[in-house]
Amino acid sequence: MPERSVYNFSAGPAVLPEDVLRESREALWDLDGSGIGVLEHSHRGRVFAAVYQQAIADCRKLAGIGDDFEVLLLPGGAATQFFMLPANFLPKDGHADYLITGLWSEKALAEARFYGDAHVAWREEPFCRVPEPGEINWSDDAPAFAHYTANNTICGTQWPAPPAPPPGVWLACDASSDIFSRPLELAHHGCIYASAQKNLGPAGVTLVILRRDLLEAGARVRELPSMQRYDRALGSMFNTPATFAIYVMGRVFSWLLKQGGLEAMARRNHKKAQVVYDALEEPAGFYHCTANKGSRSLMNLTFRTPSTALDRAFLAEAEAAGFSGLGGHRSIGGMRASIYNAFPLDGCQALAAFLRDFARRNG
Ligand SMILES: Cc1ncc(COP(=O)(O)O)c(C=O)c1O
């Protein structure tokens, strides 16, 4: 494949590791020497079964997921988990607690309210930080679960560590935009879900890590159509799964293991983000980081120049210079540099140089 001349800062679907793209290109024609391409294999055949099992095994190894959790690869994106989770676990006469740190947690909250009561345990606009532990207003009587969004893709904030839930309450986490960017904390969690198209692969498959006891009879709180039931999703084959997306996800897990695993990714992601944040802060007063220090995301770095006119000029010049996808989410504007696992350090260094040069010329 020829060298790419563009750095892709898209928030998702996003940049994938070059090695994974090369392997996927080969597999489109011939998957593992089978003479049949990955798009053409039956999901129930021996060859794809091996792909699936290896992906699950690598995912478990990478994140240290033991037998007390199931690993599912489901369709429908994180948005399906927004309703599937409360459909299974939020009783009609019960309640769940939701920590609202951005637009995606708002959406998760709205879906939960189709099924039961959802108490807002923290919310503060503008969404420029996550709460300190003492600020969370958990409901008085134990909620069915407590939901939070690990990384807020739009406003550029991230929980430095998961919230501590009330005793006996399990956490549900939307980790769509920072899954496997650092070691995965499973303690206190009942469910962690993440759509693939940022850190894990192409759109079309969602990783769901679910505590096994929640699949037992009695854990599900209502009758549901089969596609909405986690217990029917075991093996991820209730319907025909997104075979190609699962194949690519498996290659990403393998790539992450080869990079040294999640500790190594965390170190690398820290360094990459630091390079960009330093450039945003050094020409003092020119750029404004929209997330507060202490809550800043290492995945989505959001910022503005002194004016919307300069924001527009910045984006136009950046695009022309080969920095693609730096526009902020359409709901808030400004700029956002998404630098997921597969985004290279040299892209962050190139952006830092561009940021300094633009500030020098326009400050
Ligand atoms: C944190 C977060 N949650 C949920 C979603 C929605 O994911 P999907 O479109 O796969 O349903 C996104 C998409 O950007 C996201 O960033």
Percent of the chain exceeding pLDDT 90 equals 94
Active site residue 140: no
Q: Residues 310-347: pLDDT tens digits?
A: 999 999 999 999 999 999 999 999 999 999 999 999 99
Q: Pick the atom of ligand 1 nearest to 79's CA.
A: 11
Judge whether residue 278 has pLDDT over 90. yes
Reply yes or no on whether 174 is catalytic: yes
Cα dist from 90 to 85, 109, 112, 115, 222, whole Å: 8, 12, 8, 7, 9
220 — pLDDT class (breaks 50, 70, 90): confident
| Ligand 1 mutation target, pool 80, 101, 104, most atoms within 8 A of CB | 104
Give the Å distance between the CA of 149 and the centre of ligand 1: 10
Check whether 349 has a pLDDT greater than 80: yes
Q: Both tokens of residue 148?
A: 């939070």
Ligand 1 centroid–CA 46 distance in Å is 32
Q: What tens digit of pLDDT does each residue of 46-73 get?
A: 999 999 999 999 999 999 999 999 999 9
CA distances, 12 to each of 174, 292, 326, 334 (Å): 15, 23, 12, 17
Choose the residue to mutate in 105, 153, 176, 330 for probing ligand 1, maximizing ligand atoms within 8 Å of C-beta. Answer: 176
353 C-alpha to ligand 1 centroid (Å): 30
Centre of ligand 1 to C-alpha 356, Å, is: 31
Taking the C-alpha atoms of residue 231 and residue 355, their distance in angstroms, rounded to an integer, is 49
Output the average pLDDT for the chain: 96
pLDDT of residue 236: 84
Please state the atom number of ligand 1 nearest to the C-alpha of residue 153.
16
Active site residue 159: no
Mean of pLDDT values over 102-110: 98
pLDDT single digits (tens) 231-246 = 999 888 899 999 999 9
192: its two tokens: 């962690």
Sheet holding 95-100, edge to edge: 69-74, 206-211, 189-195, 171-174, 146-149, 95-100, 117-123
Checking if the pLDDT of 216 tops 90, the result is: no
pLDDT given at position 309: 97
- Closest residue CA from atom 7 of ligand 1: 78
Residues with CB under 6 A from ligand 1: 12, 77-79, 104, 149, 153, 174, 176-177, 195
The pLDDT score that the predictor gives to residue 1 is 72
Provide the pLDDT for residue 179: 98
| Closest Cα to atom 10 of ligand 1 | 77
224-260 per-residue burial string, b: 16 or more CB within 10 A, e: under 16: eeeebbbbebeebebeebbbbbbbbbbbbbbbbeeee
* Bridge partners, 151 (sequence order): 158
Q: Which domains does the chain have, with CATH numbers?
A: 18-258 (3.40.640.10), 261-362 (3.90.1150.10)
Give tens-digit pLDDT for 161-207: 999 999 999 999 999 999 999 999 999 999 999 999 999 999 999 99
Entry pTM: 0.98
**pLDDT at residue 275 in the model:** 98
Q: Which one is catalytic: 58, 97, 159, 174?
A: 174
Confidence band for 3, pLDDT divided at 50, 70 and 90? confident
For the residues of 88-154, what is the DSSP string, one character each?
HH--TT-EEEEEE-SHHHHHHHHHHTTTSEEEEEEE-SS------GGG----SSPPS-EEEESEETT
